[in-house]
Amino acid sequence: MSEAARLAPHLAGPAWILALDQTGGRGRRGRPWRMPAGNFAATYVFHPQVSPQQAALYSFVAALALEEALSRVAGPHARLSIKWPNDVLLNGGKIAGILLESLGQGGRISQLAIGIGVNLAEAPDPGTLEAGAMAPVSLRAETGLVIAPEEFLTPLAVAFDRLARQFATQGFAPIRAAWLARAARLGERLVARTGTETHEGVFETIDETGAMILRTAGGPMAISAAEIFF
């Protein structure tokens, strides 16, 4: 992500930046992201020229592309799903995460970087994660497959390009429908923690802005940012 920010002003077009070693990885809210050797870490950086609200929806585009790429390399028997908004799960454990960072002014986004981390070879030590975090898994441990980061980039880039073009031409509706078809715990009870508040309810859907609609005891609630616990 840091290298993407450095290179972005000099890029003539979109680019993928692949890191084979990472010493300053970060996740949402500035949390550390640890990358054991053999895992995947890449950032897609481009100039979308969209509003901040539209830019945020690329999170769902990226999650779908990542799920599609993992499905392609792992085969039809891999049990994949997406935890709102964009963590990809394999056999119920977290195999990948996505982080968006943007720059812009005047209500427009001039640069968007989408960072993607995948546990291809090894899951991080659960003891290094925050309390309550979803148990991590790796592709190798769950399926026996060994794939190099360079190999994984191709199916991911192909899937992202196709879905990004669909988003640009058809809007969020088909992305939303495809995402809901892969959503983890849709229709089930879960807990959403939004800073100082905790809400419990049934995960009904996501709306046209990507917000989670939670049916609580007090009625439907739209949640745009939260930590989700099953």
Find the CATH number of the domain harbouring 202: 2.30.30
Domain span at residue 66? 2-180
Query: Of 113, 55, 122, 94, which is closest to residue 228 (Cα–Cα)?
Result: 94
Q: Are 168 and 207 contained in the same domain?
A: no
Q: Are 136 and 194 contained in the same domain?
A: no
Instruction: Spell out where the chain has E strands.
Output: 15-18, 40-46, 80-83, 87-90, 93-105, 108-118, 189-194, 197-206, 212-216, 219-223, 227-229
Q: What is the pTM of this model?
A: 0.93
CB 119 within 8 A of CB 95: yes
Query: Of 207, 191, 74, which is closest to residue 141 (Cα–Cα)?
Result: 74
CB 42 within 8 A of CB 148: no
pLDDT in tens, the chain (230 residues): 889 889 988 999 999 999 998 887 776 666 666 788 899 999 999 998 888 899 999 999 999 999 999 999 998 788 999 999 999 999 999 999 999 998 877 777 889 999 999 999 999 877 666 666 788 999 999 999 999 999 999 999 999 999 999 999 999 999 999 999 999 999 999 999 988 899 999 999 999 999 999 999 999 999 999 999 99
Q: Which residues make beta-bridge pairs with 93? A: 90
Q: Are 160 and 214 contained in the same domain?
A: no
Number of domains in the chain: 2
Distance between CA atoms of residues 102 and 57, nearest Å: 13
